[in-house]
Every structure is written in C-alpha cells, then in structure tokens.
Structure 1
C-alpha cells in the first residue's frame, strides 16, 4: 500500500505538473507572439521616418542601398524599404529579399518561414517591411517550456520521498497492526490491539477480534465436547466389556463361552474404534496447536517407553541432543506419534524393529520393514477407513488422524514406500513448517 500510494501520488503530481507546463507554455507562447509582433511594429515605426529622410535626401536618385552595420552580428529582425512598385530602396545588411513578397503590403502577414509587418509613408509611396524568423519564435517558446520542465527533474525525487514519508507516517499504526498479527503464533487467539488505528481500519480490527473470539469459543466447545464424549462413551463400553468378561467366567457351556468371547471382542473393537473416532474429532477440530511452546522430546520418549513395555525390543529410538520446542499441542502430538507407531507395529515386519527418530529441526520419522505398499494404495492411506491389502487388524483411521493433526498444526506428513535407504518397508515423515516450530 505504501509503495502504491507513493508511486501513484508522485505520478499524479508529475502529470499535473506536465499539464501545468503545457498550459503555461501555450499562454507564454501567446504572450511572446504579442511581444514579438509589438517589436515588429515598433521597429518599423522607428526605422521608417529615418529611411524616408535618407531616401528623399539622396543626390543620385532612388537606387538601392544597404544600411551599414557597426559590427558583424546575427539579426533576428531584417527589413526592406521599397516603393509601391516593389523597387528596392533600402535594406538591412543581412536582409534576404527572397523572404518578402513581390509587392509590399501593410499589416501583418506570414510566410512559411517568417512573420512580416509592413507600414507605408509619403502617401503610400514608400513602404517598409520588417521580417522575423518563425524559428526564432519557436526556439524562444521551446526554451521557455524547458525552463518550466527543469524543476520537474528535482521535483520528482523530492515528491516521491516526501509522499513516501507522509504515507509511512500515516500508516504506521496499520503496519504495527499487521506486524502484531504476523508475529503471533498459530495458536494465539487473543484479541488484537487496534485502538490507535485510523478510522477507516477500525472496523477491520473489530471484525478480526470478533472472528478470533468466535473461533476461540468454537475450539473450547469442541475440546469440551470431545472430553465429555470420551468419558460418556468409554465408561459404558468399559462397563459392558467388564460384564462380558465376568459372564465369560461364569458360564459352563463351551458354545456359550464362545458366544460371550465374540461379544467381548466386539465390545473391545468398538471401544478402540470409539477412541479412534474421538481422536479424529480432536484432530479435525482445530486443537492441534497451543499458545505456548512445548518440548516434544520428553513426550516422544514417554510414548515410546509405553510401547516398549508392551512389545520389548520392537522399537529403536533416536533422539536429538537438544530440546525441540514447538507450538504443537502436547496431547495432539502424543496422539499423532501413538498412531504412527501403532501403524508401524501392526503392519510392519515382526522380525525387524520399528525405527523412530527425531532431529533437532523437529523432523519426526517412523519407519518399519515389510512389504512395499503400491503407489496407488499409498495415496489413499490418508483417507478415513482406508487400508492397504493386509491381514492385520485395524480401523483404517491411524494415518488419517496423523494427517489431520499435521495439517492443523501447519506441518506436512510424507508417506513413502519403500522406506528411505531401504528396498522395502514403509515410512512416515513429519516435517515442521516455520509457523509450527
């Protein structure tokens, strides 16, 4: 905006100056023509009496004579003195008779190259004609126009600097308002200070703050709904699962025990599915970021430790030497990591460890051995309930949840098969953008 206003106003001032110069040039040219015409008349009226006296006092008749010049010089005004028949009686030393007409005339007249004024005396028997080159008039008008344009060379940079300074000073509060929005983290939904903004920009600040307030309420409502739903769903499912397990120990019939076992497995699958759906709701609800930075290394260590206690020797962990601080919400990061590791353990080769590593720039990589996932299936794994061709149990939501959290935090989840540096296997790599770090 500052650049557009500065350049636009400078061009506008320059254009107005050019229009003013053009108008002033036309007026100046008109006034100079009047001055030059007056000079022609005055010259003719001054020279004519002297020429008549000189001609009448000649002893040798009316032969042509050339007025002597005191010293060599360029004449802008030249003249001829002739009789009514066009016979030349007197001329200035630099006069060209070819410029004038065959017969003398009174008043103003123009030729292609000269402006001429004629006057008569002695009962219209002696005429004087004074000529001025039109090129001299054009040169004078051009010099006047150039003189008016010369200040524009200095005026343009001064105007540009002045306009830029005034615009910058006027929009200082607007620039501060923009910087206050740009500098805040992705999870900062606090109100934006806009009390010193110009009147034209105050409605924008009000609208932004209202939007942030509505978004904050929506996120808080979503988080509250997720927490309450998790409690309300998991408790009845856990109760039903416990009753099914108790019933399984009380029945004696093998057929009935088998039926109860099927019910128990269905309840366990339903409990796991409900948990995944709640995780997906949290991931897609905008709660992937927080307003403060958190160190992700301890969280990753804790989650890997939980899996290591369940499946000893199946996970190889590589951690950075320094802390990795991020605006990524700790709960969301835990859900993301847990889903990636579960996916690797469930679908990877049981004979090879799952490699989990994090670098100092926040890049998380989870890879496992196993069969290669075809490219046409690989692009579908981010979708809900999408699974590759495998006999392993699962809901098909793990990678969808991880991808939703990554997008919500401004991160990118890369899926590769084969894994980097291998001929087989699968790899999930999470890279941080500048906003998410």
Structure 2
C-alpha cells in the first residue's frame, strides 16, 4: 500500500451523471461542485480546474486549497525577496562607489577650474578624464587660449601706445616750457602754462595705462624675496619731493617684511594709493601709510565720507569719486588688478575705522612664512 502523505492537489474523476469513478485519497467530494464545463473556477476555500475526455463521458476536476496557494506565494516572495533585500543595497552601494570613482577625474578638473583666479587663462590639465569628457576639456582649453591671445593683444596695445606717447609728450612739454620762458605776453605765457599742465596730466595717464597693463599681464611673484619696507620708504620719499613731505606719515615695523611680491609691483601699488589719498583727502590732514609685519598694508586719509554706492564702483577703470576731481580714474583699478593677481582682497572703507570721516584702503600682501 502507498504510505500516507499530504496532498496539496486533490482530484475527482466522474462520469456524465456525476458518479465518482476515481478520486485521490484525500479528496473531499463536498469540496467539488457539479461539473459545469471546462475551465477554472473558485470557491471560498479552493481553486479548481475542470475538463472532459472521451467525448464528454469522463469529467476530471482538480482542486487546490487557497491556503496552500497563499502559502506557496509567501514562500516564493520570501525566496525571491530576501535575496533582493540583500543584493539591492549592496548593488546600490557598488554602483555609487563605481560612479564616484569614475567621476573623480571630473571632480578634480572642476576643482582646478574653481581654484583659478579670474585672470588665469592658462590651460587646465585634464589627464585622466573619461573619454566622453576629454573633447569638452580640449574645447575649453582652446577657448581659454583664444581669450588669452585677445587679452594679451589688448594689453600689448595699451602698453605700446602709452610707451610710444611718452617721447612726443615729453617733447611737447619742453616746447610749452620754452614758449612760456621766451614770450613777453602774459596771456600767451599763461596759455603755455595751461598747455604744459594738460600735457603733464596726459603723461600721468599714459603712465597709469602702462602700470595697468603691467598689473594685468606682468609677472608679480618673484623667485627671490625682498624687504618691502625699503620700497615703501623710496616711494614715500619720492612723492614727498613733489612738495608734500609733511603730509605723509609712514609707519613701518622694526623687523623686515620679506615678500616674493615684485618690488616694482608693490611700488606701483603704494604710489597709486598714496597719490590717490593726497589728491582726494583733506589738504590740511596727513595721510597714514602703514605696513605691518604680517603684510597688512593700509593707506588712510581724512576727508568727506564716500557713499557706499560709490565705493562699490571705485575700482572700475576711469571711475572717480567726484567728476570734478583731478585724476585719471585708473589708480584704484591698478591696485585692484594687482590685489587680484596676488589673490588678495582689496578693502575700501569710508569713513575710516574709528572715525566719522575719511577713507581707507587696505589689503594683505604675501609674505614669507619663515619670517
């Protein structure tokens, strides 16, 4: 005899009159409804399938308990779901790590771009970039090269034009001075003096244009360091010889301020700030020029307060605090260009800190760490 076992599927074989011809040992005839044609049907407890054979003389019905179907479904869900719950997070982590690893060269490329100064138009190294991104980097470097050439042409034109104007301007000034000394007509002498002053202003402007071209395109950091105190003394003494020695108060530290900043660039920066303070500050008050051991350089003067909206645009080219003031409007633009090239922040304040009036310009210069 066949040993007892659990049956998940039971069946009945009946004839056309519904008499049971054959059944599985666990079949419960009450579970099987009357035959009503081939196909699936479902009761409250079972899922059944019926079919006929031998010209509809034999009817076969197979039943499966719904509880068994649900149990099998749960087992399938557990069998498939648990591995997925383990595999999917692992796969997700692996995908994230793979994407991050593959995008590392692109992130480094972006970091190199973000770390650049606004005027740094040199080529960006792009080794190790994905093949799909490489042509984009090449295109970017090509664009930077064209921009660099355009800016270089502009700076060269300004510098060359200013340089070429120096000699004829000097000759014109000499002619105006000769005309003034030789004429006996007081009105003509005054006109010659006016011409001389106009030519001198034009000369100063051409010098500022050359300084601006140097600030924007020249090399500002040197291989050898120098003491900035000596440069500051020379500039202040030179400006003092023009007739304002008592108006400048120079404050320097006792220890050397060693920096790789080009001495000529610092001299240009210092001269422009001091001359700007002398020109626009109160005539009866001194100009304070301070260089600290930490490299903080400050030029401050008394005078009327400059509105905030004017401060914001003073570093633009040909911008002046007052339309009636003398000057080229290039001094602070030159200083701002140098500050940007040495990665320093130019700070304009009005009124002066601790005062109710005045104007102050400050920036931090690069100094040697060992000092």
Question: Structure 2 length normalisation: TM-score?
Answer: 0.70
Give the distance between the partners of 2:59 and 2:312, measured in 1 at CA. Answer: 104
User: 2:169 matched to 1:237?
Assistant: yes
2:68 to 125, 133, 136: 136
The corresponding residue for 2:369 is none
Alignment root-mean-square deviation, CA: 4.9
Q: Against the structure 1 CA distance between its residues 378 and 320, is the aligned structure 2 distance closer, same or farther, given a 3 Å change threshold?
A: farther
More helix by share: 1
Give the distance between the partners of 1:178 and 1:245, measured in 2 at CA. Answer: 59
Q: What is the CA deviation profile of residues 227-270 of structure 1, one whole-angstrom value per residue up to 9, with x for unaligned ones?
A: 32232111111111123223333334444433322222222222
Matches within 5 A, 1:18-37: none
Q: Against the structure 1 CA distance between its residues 110 and 274, is the aligned structure 2 distance closer, same or farther, given a 3 Å change threshold?
A: same
The corresponding residue for 1:372 is 305
Q: Against the structure 1 CA distance between its residues 319 and 205, is the aligned structure 2 distance closer, same or farther, given a 3 Å change threshold?
A: farther
Q: Against the structure 1 CA distance between its residues 296 and 221, is the aligned structure 2 distance closer, same or farther, given a 3 Å change threshold?
A: farther
Give the distance between the partners of 2:219 and 2:67, measured in 1 at CA. Answer: 79
Give the distance between the partners of 1:404 and 1:214, measured in 2 at CA. Answer: 21
The corresponding residue for 2:359 is 426
The corresponding residue for 2:250 is 316
Indicate conservation of the 8 Å contact 2:306/2:350, yes or no.
yes
Give the distance between the partners of 2:116 and 2:330, measured in 1 at CA. Answer: 32
Indicate conservation of the 8 Å contact 1:297/1:319, yes or no.
no
Q: Secondary structure at the match of 2:194?
A: helix
Matches within 5 A, 1:194-205: 194=126, 197-205=129-137
Q: How far is the alpha carbon of 1:114 from its aligned partner?
A: 0.9
Q: Against the structure 1 CA distance between its residues 230 and 83, is the aligned structure 2 distance closer, same or farther, given a 3 Å change threshold?
A: closer
1:417 to 307, 330, 350: 350
The corresponding residue for 2:91 is 159
Q: How far is the alpha carbon of 1:390 from its aligned partner?
A: 8.9
Q: Secondary structure at the match of 1:200?
A: coil
User: 2:227 matched to 1:275?
Assistant: no
* Unmatched segments (≥5 aa) in structure 2: 367-371
Q: Against the structure 1 CA distance between its residues 399 and 296, is the aligned structure 2 distance closer, same or farther, given a 3 Å change threshold?
A: farther
2:235 to 303, 306, 310: 303
Q: Against the structure 1 CA distance between its residues 177 and 423, is the aligned structure 2 distance closer, same or farther, given a 3 Å change threshold?
A: closer
The corresponding residue for 2:142 is 210
The corresponding residue for 2:217 is 287
Q: How far is the alpha carbon of 1:425 from its aligned partner?
A: 1.0
Question: Highest CA radius of gyration, 1 or 2?
Answer: 1
The corresponding residue for 1:258 is 190
Tell me the matched-pair count.
Answer: 359
Give the distance between the partners of 2:221 and 2:135, measured in 1 at CA. Answer: 26
The corresponding residue for 1:345 is 278
